[in-house]
Structure 1
Amino acid sequence: MSAHGPVTAVRGAPCWVSLMAHDLEGAQEFYTAVLGWRFRAGGLGEEFSIALSDGQPVASIGALAQSFQVAVAWTSYFAVDNADDTAGRIRERGATVAVGPLKIGPGRAALAADPDGATFGFWEGQTLAWSIGQGNAPVGLELRTRDAFAAAIFYAEVFDWASGEPGGCDVTYEHDQVIVSDATHTVATLRGGAVESAPDPRVRPLWHVHFPVRDIEKVAATAVAAGGTVTPVTPTADGEGCQAVVRDPDGGLFTVTST
């Protein structure tokens, strides 16, 4: 990803990921140890920082106010043309807009939850030249949900996926998963039960951010030593690598994927 910008993001595509943590300093120490990140001020005050990988922005971490009683979580943001219109579409479909849209720096942002409870954000305004699977951005973004097909319909209606209009995202359905792509590459995957199967009530719907690592066993051990927890390492869905889900000491979940 280039640090130069701003640019206009592809409509409906993921445009950033951010962690809201109760302990900003502790979070920075953990992600420095585990993923090798460095941090700089983010331009939105002392309680907000940009994570750098090889000197390039990869994500952000902000501090939750102590009075703000929400779970610590990694949130994926999607680019929209009009935040108010997007908020209206979400509410019309029985989902929740929890915060915003609010003016934040050069744009407007909001936090929402889809009908099954998976949280996500959306952003109106220009962004950095950042895209899932490219450069220093996360290697993947994956919604694990009870019914991928139903989720795809919701997000397609909210973000204009597969609308046929120029400048948006396309959707394909392959092997019981929904693939979202811009004009050049895959930017998100939705996974759940097959079309004919009943939704699995055991699945807690969640957008998983996949950060690339070279030595996943070493990263897993470092995460545990730094106070996190890690699931057993398993093969990725395509069988070409390995992955593990990490919970940081503050409770934030993310996935590490070997590259």
Structure 2
Amino acid sequence: MAEFAEGAPCWVDAMFKDVEGAKAFYSDVLGWTFGDAASEYGNYTQAYSDGKAVAAVVPPMPGGDAPSQWCLYFASPDAAATAEKIKSAGGDLMMEPMQVGTFGTMLIAKEPSGAVFGVWQPGEHKGFEKVGEPGAYAWAEVFTREVGKVDGFLPKVFPYGAQKMEPGDDPEMAGMDYKIFSVGGTENPVLGRMNMGEEFPPEIPSYVQVYFSVPDCDEAVAKATKRGGTLHFGPMDSPFGRFAALTDQQGAAFAVIDMSKTSGAMPKMSDA
């Protein structure tokens, strides 16, 4: 299995009060199957697509009352060193580096504008066993109203280069402030950053939007809403694929994208 470069998204999991409900929802919407709960690790349960590990779900820790949300983990060769970079760059550690048996070392952090993310130093568990295929992780974006904080923070923590998307003549992109962060050159983009406009209610904090690949965006949306999910945006065609943003029936935000259905010319990028 390929190792993930430092700063590349390598895993995603979510905490759900109703784990069985979450399993039923994502089994239907994304076609996932689930392994056995690992009781020694808080009943952490891996999700699989075509037999390959793609995500995990877990119940809250005793006494915990955190909202359901997906947490994206970025690869690191040294979680302790990354933790120091996070603190020196103005982020907060919500969970100090913690070794998870022989699987690896994790931490949970918050960037300066408030979006929560994880860092994973792999041991036996390397991360995603497939990416960019139906049923698997496809992309992620940091949504924030404080773009300066995010843009200043990320390259101090991970070895990122950045480019800004030019709106061009597309009226739907007018006023859009979007950056793409890459590792090892612009041919390897790993993360987007979107400025949250007035279309976002003020009570929605900064967050990381995780995209999962699906074979049919509209079908996935129909399944999600039938199971109690909420459609917030789309389905919309783009040069990257047809996508939609939703929350599941427990309030966790996610997006689906059919990357086989692209529309329009790829936007131009400029050095940021």
TM bucket by the smaller chain?
A: 0.7 to 0.9
> Cα deviations across residues 170-195 of structure 1 (Å, max 9, x unaligned)?
4333324222234453221112279x
Q: Distance in 2 between matches of 1:66 and 1:246?
A: 28
Q: How many Å apart are 1:73 and its aligned residue?
A: 0.7
Work out which structure has the larger RCO, using CA pairs closer than 8 Å and 6 or more positions apart in sequence.
Answer: 1
Match for residue 188 of structure 2?
A: 185
Match for residue 104 of structure 1?
A: 100
Unaligned 5+ runs, structure 1: 162-169, 195-199
Q: Distance in 1 between matches of 2:133 and 2:21?
A: 28
Q: Distance in 1 between matches of 2:99 and 2:211?
A: 28
Compared with structure 1, are the counterparts of its residues 129 and 39 closer, same or farther at alpha carbon in structure 2 (3 Å cutoff)? Answer: closer
Contact 1:133 1:187 (C-alpha < 8 Å) held by counterparts: no
With normalisation by structure 1, the TM-score equals 0.81
With normalisation by structure 2, the TM-score equals 0.78
Spell out the pairing of 1:15-164 with structure 2 (5 A cutoff).
15-41=10-36, 45=41, 47-105=43-101, 106-126=103-123, 127-128=126-127, 130=129, 133=132, 137-161=136-160
Three-state SS of the structure 2 residue aligned to 1:223 is: helix
Q: How many Å apart are 1:18 and its aligned residue?
A: 0.9
Q: Distance in 1 between matches of 2:196 and 2:61?
A: 37
Contact 1:83 1:101 (C-alpha < 8 Å) held by counterparts: yes
Three-state SS of the structure 2 residue aligned to 1:70 is: coil
Q: Distance in 2 between matches of 1:142 and 1:256?
A: 13
Compared with structure 1, are the counterparts of its residues 240 and 188 closer, same or farther at alpha carbon in structure 2 (3 Å cutoff)? Answer: closer
Contact 1:20 1:63 (C-alpha < 8 Å) held by counterparts: yes
Q: Distance in 1 between matches of 2:134 and 2:213?
A: 11
1:257 aligns with 2:248: no
Amino acid at match of 2:74: F
Q: Distance in 2 between matches of 1:75 and 1:120?
A: 6
Amino acid at match of 1:159: F
Unaligned 5+ runs, structure 2: 167-176, 260-272
Q: How many Å apart are 1:248 and its aligned residue?
A: 1.4
Q: Distance in 1 between matches of 2:48 and 2:232?
A: 25
Q: CA RMSD in A?
A: 2.7
